[in-house]
Structure 1
Amino acid sequence: MYSSKFLETAKRIIRENPEVFEALEEYDRTRKLRKVSYRERINFTIDSSLLSQFKNYCRDKNINMSRLIEKHMKEEIRG
């Protein structure tokens, strides 16, 4: 009973995070562990006043601007 639940959980995790297991397979072959999640620099334009306020807000709250933007992007996508 316990082993079947464990197996189901393992299969679900592999299905939900294939990139992690691909990285581990690559490590087995090469003995080098690549990054699972890459970050990419982007450029876009926004209101300069808003940017200034956002920078000040993040600095005052000790929040990483990129992480906060990512969080809101994910929330927007999920709906």
Structure 2
Amino acid sequence: MFVVNRGGQIRGYLNLCPHYSSPLNIKEDEFLSSDGTALMCRRHFALFRLEDGMCFSGACEGKMLDPVPVTVRDGEIEIAV
């Protein structure tokens, strides 16, 4: 999984592209598009919205990344139960 912090909004997602069921990143910690406005599958360049993981461009358009519920407690990010 990976976590995105955009303006204090914390989101967690499984690191699994819904198109090929492979990790989004090729290099460690490389999940954002070059302009930083979207999540990007580095294997086939699909783009996903940061706020909900919905694919809006690419081969898996209309599919979503699997969310992982996260919370911040005492400044630490934890997987929520």
| TM norm. shorter chain > 0.5 | no
Higher normalized strand content (fraction of residues): 2
Higher normalized helix content (fraction of residues): 1
Q: Larger relative CO (CA 8 A, sep 6+): 1 or 2? A: 2
Q: TM-score, normalised by structure 1?
A: 0.23
